[in-house]
Structure 1
Amino acid sequence: MASLETRVTEFQENLARNSVNEIKEQIKEMQKMEESQNFVLKDCHEKTQNMLKRIVELEKTDFDDKFNHITRRMIGEVVREHLTPIQMNFNLENKSIKKLVEEHAYTIEQ
């Protein structure tokens, strides 16, 4: 039988080995967590950079110019919508007058 001292030494060695293995496992888990955190941080950094670029673009945009451009375009569309029927009526009236003048000229010739 092994002496008590030998058994205590073996127990201590086993305990140390188990502790070292547990520490190694914890280190591996911490490395995995660190990799995951780095990925998340990188993604957040990219999104933040994109947001900053967008803010800079928005600050460069002259909203008054854009508003005026849109307003002018809308006014142009409304005017065209209102003038088109008037122009069509004007064209029809011109055609009618032209037809009457031609008929009158034809009757004068005869």
Structure 2
Amino acid sequence: MPMTDSAEDPSVTRNDGAGRYEIHVDGVLAGYTVFRADTRGRLIFPHTEVDPAFRGRGIAQQLVAGAMADVASRGETVIPHCPVVSAYLRKNDVPGLDVIWPTHPHPE
């Protein structure tokens, strides 16, 4: 029987109450990317954070990939201010995702 790494299968969920997408590994919060809607309903992503215990595993990339796919499926627009989100979007095409690139990205 082949061994699988399913025990560490990360799951990405949207937490509207906290204004963020979260990634859990084995039921533990491993990281999140924060969003807030601007006055036109576009989602601004200012910050992504991964718990140091989970760094080096590609968690941030998996988190942003899941978040962007979900945003696209909802027909929402992204304004990436977070360097992690910006880098992901510059390297990966997300079908159906509407991105508005900020003229002056600012960390938050």
TM-score (norm 2): 0.19
Bigger share in strand:
2
Higher RCO (CA 8 Å, separation ≥ 6 residues)? 2
Bigger fraction of residues in helix: 1
TM-score by length of 1: 0.19
Structure index of larger Rg:
1
